[in-house]
Amino acid sequence: MISIQETGTGWRSAGSVVARRLLLDRQAEFWMGELDPVRSRAEIRARVVAVVEETEDTKTFVLRPNAAWQGHRAGQYSSVEVEVDGVRVRRCYSISSPPGEALVSITVKRVPGGRVSTWLHKHTRSGDILRLGTAAGDFVLPAATPTKLLLLSGGSGITPVMSMLRDLAARDAIHDVVFVHHARSRANVIFGEELSELAARHAGLRLVLCLDDEPSAPRGFEEARFANLVPDFAKRSTFLCGPGPFMDRAERLWENVGASALLERESFAPTTAPARMVSSVEGVRVRLARSDRAVAAKGQGTLLEQLERAGERPAHGCRIGICHSCKCRKQTGTVQNVVTGEVSSEPDQEIQLCISVPRSDLELDL
Amino acid sequence: MTTQSKSLTREEADAFGRELDALRQEVIADLGKRDLEHIRQIIRTANRSEAAGRLLLHFGFGPLSFVLGTSALGLSKILENMEIGHNIMHGQYDWTRDPALDSLRYDWDNVCTGDDWRHSHNYEHHTFTNILGKDRDIGYGFLRVAPEQPWRPVHLTQPVVAALLALFFQWGVGAHDLRVDELFAGKQTPAELAKRARPFATKAAWQLFKDYAFFPALALINAPRVALGNLLANGTRNLWTYAVIFCGHFPEGVRVYTEDETADESRGQWYVRQLNGSANIEGSRWLHVLTGHLSHQIEHHMFPDLPAARYPEMAPRVREICARYGQGYNTGSFARQLSSVIGRIARLSLPGPKKTAKATRVVPEEAATPLTYRAAA
Ligand SMILES: Cc1cc2nc3c(=O)[nH]c(=O)nc-3n(C[C@H](O)[C@H](O)[C@H](O)COP(=O)(O)OP(=O)(O)OC[C@H]3O[C@@H](n4cnc5c(N)ncnc54)[C@H](O)[C@@H]3O)c2cc1C
Ligand code: FES
C-alpha cells in the first residue's frame, strides 16, 4: 500500500514522547512550516522549482524534496498529494528523472476530467509545495544491467523508462538498448529532443518512434510492424509501460513467443475507476486487513451492521453518522454513504462504517 | 427570543428533518479551500498568540507585560480548546484528509483526554442530547438544571458548587467520563474506576508538569511569574468555556426528554430534540470564533460534524425552517442567556417547581424512516 510515510521513526525515543506529551511536537511542526513550508518532520514535502511544458498536454514538474526523501531507483513511482479545493488527493506518478540527483521530476499528462492531473496542470506553479510518498514499485532495472535491453512505451508511459534511460546514460552504461516509443504525432513525443540527442551521442542506443500520423502507419502497437523493427525482441530484457490496451497487446505477443519471463511491465491503470458497483449488498466480501479475516455480507444493512452480524466488534458510537468514532480506512473497493448518497471508490479513504454500505468487495484497515 | 415549540407528528418531524438534511447537503457540497484556510488561520493566530504570551511572561518584567502575556496565553488556550480542538475532534475537518486536522488523532491542550472527550461528548452527549438518564451532560450528574430532575437536599449547595465548577471546569470535563457517581451507586468497582482513570491521570500529570514545572523552569528567575500566568490563563479559559457551554444548554426554555419519549425516535425527531435542547448566543464575529461557534449551539447540535464557521451563515436558514414548523429558536445576548442560567441554577437549588408543561411532544408512531435512530445502541 502506498502511503505518505511517517518519517518520524524516532518518535519512540524518550525525548519525542516528552515533546508529544507537552504538545510541543505540534508546535514544532507548525513553526517549522511557518519558517519554511517545505520543512516537516512528519511528511515528505517537495518544492516545485520548475514547470516544463513537454507537449500540449504534458508537463514536467521539477521538485526539490526535503531531507525526508530517501531517493528512488530508476523506474519507481511516488504518490503525489495535492490539495484540490481543500481536500487532499493522491495519485501515483513515475519519477522521470534519473536517481541520485537532488532534483526529482514527475511528468504528468492531463487526463480530461481528471482531478489531480488537471489540478497540477492548472494550479501548480514554481514555489508551490507538494507532498510525496516514499518511492515504490519493482519496475526497476536489475542491479546488473542486462546486456540487451528493450524499453517499450506508449504515451505518458514513457516516464519510468525515461528514468531508466537517463540512469544508463549517466552511468555510461548504454551498450545495446532499443528504445521504442509510441505517440500520436511527433509533437506528442514526450522528451523528444532529449531522446534524439541521446541517440546521437550513444552508439549503443537505437531510437524508434512509432507515430500514429505517419502515412499508412498502424495506430498504437502493432505486432507485424514491431517484429519487423525489433526482430530480436524476444531475446531482450524488456520494460513495458503504456496505456492498457497497448500493454495487453504487447503482452500477448510476448506470451505467444514464450518470452514472458523477460518482460517487465508497469501499469498506470487508474485506481479510481469504480469497481463494478453492486446494487445488492448480499454476498459482498469484506476483508479486514489488520486482523486478516474476511466477512461475507448477508441481507441489507450498513457496514457496521454487517460486520457486527458476522461477529466483529468495530469501534463505534452514535450509529447515525455524527460522532466519527466508527471512522476507518477503506483500502480498496467502493462504498456508498447512505446519508449523502456519495460514492467513494478511491483507495485509502476514510469512511464511516455506520453510514456506509458496500458497493463492491472491500478491504478495510480493521 | 424563546417561543414555545409546537408538538410535531412523526411525519412533520421527518419533513422538518429532510429540510435540515438538504441544508446539510448544500453546505457539504460547498466545503472547500475557504474552510481549510479559516481553520489554518485560527491555528496560526492561536500559535502566535501563545508564542507572544510565553515570550512576555518568560522575559518580561513588571505588571504590564504580565497582564498582556497572560491574556495572550489565555486567548491562545481559548482558541485551541474551542474553535480548533473541539471542532477538529468533532470530525468537522475530516473531509480535508489533513492528518493535522484528523478527529481521531487530535488531542487538545486540556486535562481531558481526547479519547474520553470523543466518547462522553461526541458520542453520548451529541447522540442522547437532553435525554434524562442518558445524557450525562444534564447538570453533569450533580447540578439540577431542569425541573424534571428530582430535587435532593444536596442541591441546596449548587450555587456554590456551580461557581467552583466554573473555576475548575477543565477538571470537571476531564473527570466526567470516569463516571465517579457510578462508584457510589455500586455500578462500578474501585478497581474499574482506577483502570478507567489511568489515561486521565497520565494526561493530567503531564499537563500539570507542562504548565507548572516545565515552562516555569525554562523561565529560570521568572519561574513564579510564569507559573502564575499559566494558572490564570487556564482559569480564564475555564471560566469562558463554562459560561459558553452553560449558556448553550441550561437557559430557560431549553427542555429535557424522557427515555420513553425518545425510544423509537426517527432522524427527524432527533433534529427536533437537538433544537429544543440547545440555545444560541448572539454577538459579533469574534464572539462566535472565541466560543468555537458554540454560540450557535443549535446549529452545532444539528450539524456537529460540519465546520463550525459555517453555522453563522446556516443560522438564518435554520431559523426560517424552524419558524415554518412552529418551533421555538432559543437565542439571546450573552448577558441574557447567562443571567437566565444563573437564575435557573439558583431557583432549582430549591424544591419545585412542579414540572412545567412540555414545550414539545414528539409522538412516536409507526413509520419507518430511511435512517432510524436506535437509542439502544
Ligand atoms: C504506478 C503508476 C504510475 C503512474 N505514473 C504516471 C506518470 O508518470 N504520468 C502520468 O501522467 N500518469 C501516471 N499515472 C497515472 C496517474 O496516477 C493518474 O491516474 C492520472 O494522472 C489521472 O489522475 P486524475 O486524478 O487526473 O484523474 P481521475 O480523476 O482519477 O480520473 C478521471 C477520469 O479519467 C480516467 N482516467 C484516469 N487515469 C487514466 C489514465 N491513466 N488513462 C486513461 N484514463 C484515465 C478515469 O477512469 C476517470 O474516468 C501513474 C499511475 C500509476 C498507478
Ligand atoms: S458510530 Fe458515530 S459516526 Fe459512526
Q: Is the separation of the CB atoms in B4 and B276 below 8 Å?
A: no
Beta strands in chain A (DSSP E): 44-55, 58-65, 77-84, 87-94, 104-109, 129-132, 149-154, 177-183, 205-211, 237-242, 263-267, 285-288, 293-296, 327-332, 335-337, 343-344, 349-352, 356-358, 362-364
Residues on chain A touching B126 (C-beta within 8 angstroms): 318, 322-323
* B16 closest CA partner among B373, B352, B319, B357: B319
A61-76: pLDDT as tens digits: 999 999 999 999 999 9
Which pLDDT does position B12 carry in this prediction?
97
| Mean pLDDT (chain B, rounded) | 91
Check CB contact under 8 Å for B122 and A340.
Answer: no
Shortest Cα distance, chain A CAs vs residue B39, angstroms: 11
For range A169-195, the mean pLDDT: 97
Task: Output the CA–CA distances (angstroms, integers) from residue A251 to A157, A207, A243, B322, in the order listed.
Answer: 15, 21, 12, 64
Residue A31 cell numbers, joined: 513553526
For range A193-214, the mean pLDDT: 96
Residue B78: count other Cβ atoms within 10 Å of its Cβ. Answer: 24
Nearest-CB residue to B305 (from A30, A31, A324): A324
Judge if the beta carbon of residue A290 lies within 6 A of ligand 2: no
| Phi, psi for A139 (deg, rounded to 5) | -85, 75
B45-72: pLDDT as tens digits: 999 999 999 999 999 999 999 999 999 9
* B93 closest CA partner among B292, B236, B254: B292
Q: Does A143 touch chain B (CB under 8 A)?
A: no
Judge if the beta carbon of residue A352 lies within 6 A of ligand 1: no
Q: Is the ipTM of this complex over 0.85?
A: yes
Helix B223-249 to helix B33-59 angle, to the nearest 10 degrees?
Answer: 140
For range B27-50, the mean pLDDT: 97
Q: Is the pLDDT of residue B367 over 50?
A: no
* B310 closest CA partner among B31, B20, B5: B31
Distance CA B341, CA B142 (A): 16
Which pLDDT does position B365 carry in this prediction?
35
C-alpha A354 chain-centroid distance:
30
Q: What is the DSSP-derived secondary structure letter of residue B4?
A: P
Which pLDDT does position A276 carry in this prediction?
65
Distance CA B50, CA B59 (A): 14
Q: Is the separation of the CB atoms in B274 and B301 below 8 Å?
A: yes
Residue B179 cell numbers, joined: 463516571
Sign of CA dihedral B219, B223, B227, B229: negative
* B82 closest CA partner among B297, B232, B252, B226: B297
Residue B75 cell numbers, joined: 486567548
Which pLDDT does position A14 carry in this prediction?
87
| Phi, psi for B25 (deg, rounded to 5) | -60, -45
Task: Among the bound ligands, name the one nearest to the CA of residue B377.
Answer: 2
Q: What is the DSSP-derived secondary structure letter of residue A203?
A: T
Q: Is the pLDDT of residue B370 over 50?
A: no
C-alpha of residue A320 to centroid of ligand 2, in Å: 6
Q: Which helix (H) or strand (E) holds A30?
A: helix A24-35
Q: Is the pLDDT of residue B374 over 60?
A: no
B229-275: pLDDT as tens digits: 999 999 999 999 999 999 999 999 999 999 999 988 999 999 999 99
Distance CA B93, CA B304 (A): 11
Which pLDDT does position B355 carry in this prediction?
59
What is the share, in percent, of chain B residues with pLDDT greater than 90? 86
| Phi, psi for A87 (deg, rounded to 5) | -110, 130
Residues on chain A touching B95 (C-beta within 8 angstroms): 86-87
* A129 closest CA partner among A237, A20, A47: A47
For range B283-288, the mean pLDDT: 96
Distance CA B252, CA A235 (A): 87
C-alpha of residue A109 to centroid of ligand 1, in Å: 8
B162-203: pLDDT as tens digits: 999 999 999 999 999 998 888 888 888 999 999 999 999 999
Which pLDDT does position A2 carry in this prediction?
43
Q: Which helix (H) or strand (E) holds B332?
A: strand B331-333
Distance CA B242, CA B176 (A): 14
For range A245-266, the mean pLDDT: 95
β-pairing, A44-55 vs A58-65, is: antiparallel
Shortest-distance Cα residue to atom 2 of ligand 1: A268
Paired residues of A263 in beta bridges: A238
Question: Any idea which of A74-83, B12-21, B256-265 has the lowest mean pLDDT?
Answer: B256-265
Q: What is the DSSP-derived secondary structure letter of residue A31?
A: H
Would you say the pTM of this structure is higher than 0.80?
yes
Which pLDDT does position B352 carry in this prediction?
80
Distance CA B249, CA B130 (A): 9
Q: Which amino acid, A171?
A: R
Distance CA A155, CA A221 (A): 11
C-alpha B285 chain-centroid distance:
19
Residue A154 cell numbers, joined: 506508449
Residue A129: count other Cβ atoms within 10 Å of its Cβ. Answer: 19
Distance CA B146, CA B149 (A): 6
Residues on chain A touching B35 (C-beta within 8 angstroms): 86
Cα angle A82, A88, A90; round to 5 = 65
Check CB contact under 8 Å for A324 and B103.
Answer: yes
Task: Output the CA–CA distances (angstroms, integers) from residue A360 to A306, A337, B295, in the order listed.
Answer: 14, 13, 42
Residue A287: count other Cβ atoms within 10 Å of its Cβ. Answer: 17
Residue B218 cell numbers, joined: 525554562
Q: Is the pLDDT of residue B375 over 50?
A: no
Distance CA B166, CA B142 (A): 14
Q: Is the pLDDT of residue A92 over 80?
A: yes
Establish how many alpha carbons lie within 13 A of residue A241's alpha carbon, considering only the half-sphere containing its beta carbon: 24
Top-confidence range, A206-220, B49-63, B362-376: B49-63
For range A271-286, the mean pLDDT: 71
Residue position matching grid coordinates 502506498: A2
Please measure the distance between the N-terminal and C-terminal CA atoms of chain B and give it in whole angstroms. Answer: 35
Q: Is the pLDDT of residue B362 over 50?
A: no
Residue A335: is it exposed, middle or buried by C-beta count within 10 angstroms (0-12/13-18/19+)?
buried
| Mean pLDDT (chain A, rounded) | 92
Q: Is the separation of the CB atoms in B354 and B151 below 8 Å?
A: no
| Phi, psi for A77 (deg, rounded to 5) | -120, 170
Question: Any idea which of A9-13, A149-153, B166-170 has the lowest mean pLDDT?
Answer: A9-13
Which pLDDT does position A300 carry in this prediction?
85
Q: Is the separation of the CB atoms in A105 and A167 below 8 Å?
A: no
